[in-house]
Amino acid sequence: MKLAEILNLIAIVIIPIIAVLIGQWLQTCSEKRKDKMHIFKTLMTSRVYGWTQESVYCLNIIDIVFADDKKVRNAWKDLYDKYCVQNPDESQLKKIETAQYKLLETMAVSLGYKDKVTWETIQNPYIPKGMLRQIEAQNQSQQAYNNLLLNMQQMMPQSKNPEEKK
């Protein structure tokens, strides 16, 4: 067998294997980026709406999805530590907000948006006035409903002894 034939045979066998491996690696990178973008977009959106089930889910998977990014994980740890404060005062609430923005900024840099998603962009989400009024009205309705239930509960006679009901 000639050297050219051996090289040709090696090329026929190895090149498809290498192509598959490279394709799998690119697909893995693409999936990781999609996961990171999903977390980033969800947390950027939750600046407007506050807590959602999805935003809490995203916070809880940061350590997994951003496992290769120590800066993002450190920013998340800092925010988590601030969240763990029981009954935060105004100063602590401001620190929490700053840590939330810092996490978003760190994620933006990690995703390649360093000059596109700025600190100012992160701090100033768009919230239409009509939406704010709707959220406030919904909160007031919920509070009125809670007050009504509390008043009804207080009006009902309370039995101290379960035997008295018989």
Looking from the CA of 137 toward its CB, the CA atoms found within 13 Å total 6
Instruction: Show me where the domains of the chain are located.
Output: 33-149
The pLDDT value given to residue 80: 97
d(CA 105, CA 123): 10
The pLDDT value given to residue 165: 55
Torsion of CA 11, 13, 17, 18, to 10 degrees: -10
The pLDDT value given to residue 97: 93
The pLDDT value given to residue 161: 62
pLDDT tens per residue, range 18-50: 999 999 999 989 999 999 999 999 999 998 877
Q: Which of 85, 100, 84, 124 is nearest to 43 (CA)?
A: 100
Predicted TM-score of the model (pTM): 0.72
Phi and psi at 46, nearest 5°, equal -70, -10
What is the pLDDT tens value at each position of the chain, 166 positions in all? 788 888 888 888 899 999 999 999 999 899 999 999 999 999 999 988 778 899 999 999 999 999 999 999 999 999 999 999 999 999 999 999 999 999 999 999 999 998 888 888 898 888 888 877 888 898 899 999 999 988 888 888 766 665 655 5
Residues 6+ apart with CB under 8 A from 67: 73
Structure tokens at 54: 């999805």
